[in-house]
Amino acid sequence: MRARIRAAVAVGLLLGGMPPLVTGCVPPEWMVPPDEPGGRKAKVSYTVNKKAFKHLDRAQKAMNDKDFDKAREELEDMQSRSKRFNPYELALMHRTWAQFHIEQEDMKAAAASLAQALEGETLPEGDLIDTTFNLGSLQLATEQFDAAAKTFERWLELAGEKATPTARFTIGIAFAQAKDYEKALEQAQLAVDAEDDPPEQWLQLLMSVHYELDDDRAVEEVLKRLVVRYPKKIYWQQLAGIYAERKEDAKALAVYEILNRQGLLATAEEIRRLAQMLMYHGVPSKAISVLKTGLEKNVLPRDIEVLELLASSYLYARETDEAKGILAEAAKKSDDGKLYVQLGRQQLRDAEFDAAATSVRRGINRGGIDKVGNAWLLLGSIYYNAERWSDAMDAFRRAEGHSESAATARRWVNATEQQIANARAASAP
């Protein structure tokens, strides 16, 4: 179960909740004001000269026209003259390179360019915040998890109270992938708590982090929210798994019964599992109903395993006639004689001596019985109860030849000899 959660984070969450990268067109002019919004003082103010503007503008227009050779030529020309440009102009160049690499679907190169654009933090506050987030997102998408976590930590410092729940969700993924689960938990919890109805992926992330931190109680609480808001089979199964791991079998059974009522138990294994749980908790009548429904709907195969479970359910419910019919059907399908012996034992309890003897003999003849001496012992006791002394003696003598039944068989031999003697005495003139 833990592996499934980890896979959900790695695949289902990694890109699904991330906001798009902020690329956009290069504006017609650039300038960092002396006092930026939000109170952050810029150490140095830069403007963009006409040469830098022309390079960037031509590169942007070329990309808009899908003329990437021309865009590359403009950026390479500007880069070759890098000593002529100030740090802000170079940051804009690297950011444009990043956009170029994104258009070429080279995300690692795009991340490297954004990292260069952020050196010295010469971009205006808004651009700096957006670019830092974009860099973290690219690093996350290209599985540079430790780098992404570090970048997002810086972004949190820059964004402060501007951090949105969606951004915190993405950052939580980055921390989880970097295996910093405490920080991942903080961001995931803040994201979820900020929404009255958090998206499914956010709850998945929160649950997965709790799993990694071995907090099963917290996992349970998140799963309870998921099954109410997003009642998918997988969440019910995971909740049942939590209860089973904690040996809270009654709760696990309750969850499986909910799944069954909702028609979500679709496999033979799931139906058998529910029937076994019902048997364990002493409700064989429900187990019978579950198994019969599964057979009627052809979800369950009418094989030996299912028939044995159904027969056991009938026996537990003290519906012996139905149990014997199912046992007889299963015994015919079995390659060994064990089920015939089991059937014979039940027929003996019901004083059906002839049928019981026939069943046990079939079982012995078919073979594959563990401790066959006990089967001969059972056959002897059937004949004994039917007062068929000669047949009983023959069966007990055979049982004497097996170590597991020899001692008991000798006592039965003695008892049978006494019965034979009594019968002879009674018939004497």
Which of 131, 126, 129 is CA-nearest to residue 114?
131
pTM of the model: 0.72
Which residues neighbour 424 within 8 Å (Cβ) at sequence distance 6 or greater? none
Q: Which residues of 159-178 are buried (b: 16+ CB within 10 A; e: fewer)?
A: beeebebbbbbbbbbbbbbb
pLDDT on residue 6: 41
CA-angle at 162, arms to 165 and 212, nearest 5°:
35
Specify the pLDDT at position 19: 39
Residue 369, φ and ψ in degrees, nearest 5: -95, 130
Distances, alpha carbon 255 to alpha carbons 56, 265, 293, in Å: 61, 11, 19
For residue 167, give the nearest of 126, 128, 202 by alpha carbon.
Answer: 202
As a whole number of angstroms, the distance between CA 4 and CA 25 comes to 41
Q: Is 219 exposed, middle or buried (0-12, 13-18, 19+ CB in 10 A)?
A: buried
As a 3-state breakdown, the chain gives helix, strand, coil percent values, each rounded to 5, of 75, 0, 25
| The amino acid at 120 | G
Instruction: Quote the pLDDT of residue 20.
Output: 39
- Model confidence over 126-160: pLDDT tens digits? 999 999 999 999 999 999 999 999 999 999 999 99
CATH topology of domain 334-429: 1.25.40
Q: Provide the pLDDT for residue 429.
A: 67
Q: How far apart are CA 224 and CA 231, in angstroms?
A: 9
Under DSSP, the state recorded for 281 is T
Distance in angstroms (rounded) separating the CA atoms of residues 370 and 375 = 9
Question: What value, to the nearest 5°, has the Cα angle with vertex 391 and ends 385 and 397?
Answer: 105
Query: Are the C-beta atoms of 8 and 17 separated by less than 8 Å?
Result: no
- Distance separating alpha carbons of residues 260 and 297, to the nearest angstrom: 13
User: CB count, 10 Å around CB of 246?
Assistant: 13
Ranges of residues in the chain whose predicted pLDDT is under 70:
1-45, 428-429
Is 201 in contact with 169 (CB distance < 8 Å)?
A: yes
Domain boundaries, the chain: 334-429
Q: Could you tell me the two tokens for 258?
A: 């909910």
| pLDDT of amino acid 425 | 82
- What the block records as the tokens of 376 is 């001969």
Tell me how far apart the alpha carbons of residues 150 and 159 are, in angstroms, rounded to a whole number.
Answer: 14
* Euclidean distance between CA atoms 297 and 33, whole angstroms: 73
Q: Which of 319, 316, 374 is nearest to 344 (CA)?
A: 374
**What whole-number distance in Å separates Cα of residue 36 and Cα of residue 122?**
12
